[in-house]
């Protein structure tokens, strides 16, 4: 069992609050993604869990033990840093095996793990080079290798794929996920990339300004976002959040009421849930058309609000066209504008 339990962690840098009462649990063997925009506190939290930094308040439990006051080496974790933190004077092979040597892992076992990791990461031909002789993406893979050979029950990764090209990134995502499953590692993986979160995670912990905005499965965050922030952070293009007039119509449209008349409410609708037709419920004008190959983004104006629809294939509309928009009622989300909180019936989940 190697569960991670983060209990009320706060971190202040002088008056600046980097983390505020962050609490969540990652069950043993699960892949959790810590997601959030730049500066929201992801690296700070990871460093605190690893024991490289102290929290101002709160406790860290790993595998049922309170490790808050333990040194990093005693916590049973491996970590991949956002900056690779490689030793410049050691070769790739020495960098990867450094931790194993320190822990007196026998030579044969060291060799076996090095072979396995360098094969997996495509580093076999580079084992005798120094970090300064590697590209950024290669250095990043060495940092990954060091975590992989550790075989620690808990692994922390801070944006480990940020310097790889799109194709390698895609491959490495699958490899990391497969490795994590095979070794039953409890993973806490930091990224600001929502696609990475959606495709890799069993559990997504979304941070915003040092607080947990939402904690749940990718499905739950995508399908039932608890706030406007969460609704717009996952999904590209993001969910449309449309202000309503006091009559409950789309602001400035004079159209039909879409909800009980509440001027402080906004509705949310995902681009792929919108139908665009010649004649329908909500009158709109097409402003932009972006053809992406598999689908087309149609940017429309309804009253004084902008609404983006995602349609399959070539949509067959042009800028300036008068169209109608519609969507199934059960696809519509409802938020309170002032607080950004979800207020519709699915609130409970």
Ligand X SMILES: Nc1ncnc2c1ncn2[C@@H]1O[C@H](COP(=O)(O)OP(=O)(O)OP(=O)(O)O)[C@@H](O)[C@H]1O
Asked if residue 110 binds ligand X (CB under 6 A), the reply is no
**Residue of 6, 30, 42, 126 that binds ligand X (CB under 6 A):** 42
- Report how far residue 273's alpha carbon sits from residue 340's, in angstroms, rounded to the nearest whole number: 21
Nearest approach, Cβ of residue 233 and ligand X (Å): 13
Nearest approach, Cβ of residue 86 and ligand X (Å): 18
Asked if residue 80 binds ligand X (CB under 6 A), the reply is no
Contact 36, 207 (CB under 8 A): yes
Query: In terms of residues, how long is the chain?
Result: 349
- Report how far residue 346's alpha carbon sits from residue 333's, in angstroms, rounded to the nearest whole number: 9
Nearest approach, Cβ of residue 31 and ligand X (Å): 19
- Report how far residue 18's alpha carbon sits from residue 207's, in angstroms, rounded to the nearest whole number: 11
41's contact among Mg ion, ligand X, none, with CB below 5 to 8 A by partner kind, is ligand X
Judged by CB under 6 A, the chain residues 174 through 213 that form the site for ligand X are 192
Nearest approach, Cβ of residue 26 and ligand X (Å): 18
Of 4-12, 39-47, 53-61, 142-150, which part binds Mg ion (CB under 5 A)?
39-47
Of 37-45, 134-142, 147-155, 333-341, which part binds Mg ion (CB under 5 A)?
37-45
271's contact among Mg ion, ligand X, none, with CB below 5 to 8 A by partner kind, is none
33: exposed, middle or buried (C-beta count within 10 Å: 0-12, 13-18, 19+)?
buried
Judged by CB under 5 A, the chain residues 70 through 129 that form the site for Mg ion are 82
Nearest approach, Cβ of residue 46 and ligand X (Å): 8
**Residue of 4, 9, 18, 284 that binds ligand X (CB under 6 A):** 18
Nearest approach, Cβ of residue 52 and ligand X (Å): 11
Spell out the residues 6+ positions from residue 70 whose beta carbon is closer than 8 angstroms to its own. 51
Judged by CB under 6 A, the chain residues 82 through 101 that form the site for ligand X are 82
Question: Which residue of the chain is nearest Mg ion when measured via CB?
Answer: 43
Asked if residue 39 binds ligand X (CB under 6 A), the reply is yes
Say whether 15 sits in a helix, a strand or coil. Answer: coil
Distance (Å) of CA 163 to CA 18, 166, 208:
25, 9, 24
299's contact among Mg ion, ligand X, none, with CB below 5 to 8 A by partner kind, is none
Say whether 2 sits in a helix, a strand or coil. Answer: coil
Sign of CA dihedral 128, 133, 138, 140: positive
Residue 183 CB neighbour total at 10 angstroms: 14
Side-by-side strand order, sheet with 295-302: 275-277, 322-326, 282-291, 295-302, 305-312
**Residue of 6, 19, 33, 43 that binds Mg ion (CB under 5 A):** 43
Place of tokens 């706030």: 227
Nearest approach, Cβ of residue 56 and Mg ion (Å): 18
Beta pairing class for 186-191 and 31-35: parallel
Nearest approach, Cβ of residue 113 and ligand X (Å): 29
Spell out the residues 6+ positions from residue 33 whose beta carbon is closer than 8 angstroms to its own. 189, 190, 191, 196, 197, 200, 201, 203, 204, 205
39's contact among ligand X, Mg ion, none, with CB below 5 to 8 A by partner kind, is ligand X
Residue closer to Mg ion by CB (options 191, 253) is 191
Token code pair at residue 14: 């002088």
DSSP 113: H
Q: Give the footprint of Mg ion on this chain (CB under 5 A).
A: 43, 82
Residues found near ligand X in the complex (CB under 6 A)? 13, 16, 18, 36, 38-44, 82, 192
């Amino acid at each position: 069992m190697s569960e991670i339990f983060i209990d009320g962690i706060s971190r202040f840098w002088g008056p600046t609050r980097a983390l505020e009462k962050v609490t969540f649990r990652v069950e043993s063997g699960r892949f959790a993604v810590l997601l959030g925009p730049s500066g929201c506190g992801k690296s700070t939290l990871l460093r605190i869990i690893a024991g490289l930094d102290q929290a101002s308040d709160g406790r860290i439990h790993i595998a049922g033990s309170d490790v808050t006051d333990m040194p990093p080496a005693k916590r049973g974790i491996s970590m991949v840093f956002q900056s690779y933190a490689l030793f410049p004077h050691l070769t790739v092979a020495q960098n990867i095996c450094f931790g194993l040597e320190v822990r007196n892992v026998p030579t044969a076992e060291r060799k076996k793990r090095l072979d396995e990791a360098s094969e997996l990461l495509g580093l076999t031909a580079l084992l005798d080079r120094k970090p300064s002789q590697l590209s950024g993406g290669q250095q990043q893979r060495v940092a990954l290798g060091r975590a992989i050979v550790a075989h620690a029950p808990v692994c922390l990764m801070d944006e480990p794929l940020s310097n790889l090209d799109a194709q390698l990134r895609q491959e490495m995502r699958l490899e990391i996920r497969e490795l994590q499953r095979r070794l039953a590692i409890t993973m806490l993986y930091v990224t600001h990339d929502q696609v990475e979160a959606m495709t890799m995670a069993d559990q997504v912990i979304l941070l915003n300004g040092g607080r947990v905005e939402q904690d749940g499965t990718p499905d739950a965050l995508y399908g039932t976002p608890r706030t406007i922030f969460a609704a717009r952070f996952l999904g590209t293009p993001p969910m449309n959040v449309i202000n309503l007039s006091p009559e409950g119509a789309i602001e400035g449209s004079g159209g039909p009421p879409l909800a009980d008349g509440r001027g402080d409410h906004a509705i949310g609708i995902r681009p792929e849930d919108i139908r665009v037709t010649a004649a329908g419920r909500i009158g709109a004008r097409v402003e932009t058309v972006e053809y992406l190959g598999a689908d087309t983004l149609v940017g429309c104006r309804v009253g004084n609000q902008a609404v983006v629809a995602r349609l399959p294939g070539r949509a067959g509309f042009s800028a300036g066209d008068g169209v109608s928009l519609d969507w199934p009622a059960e696809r519509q989300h409802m938020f309170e504008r002032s607080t950004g909180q979800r207020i519709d019936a699915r609130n409970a989940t």
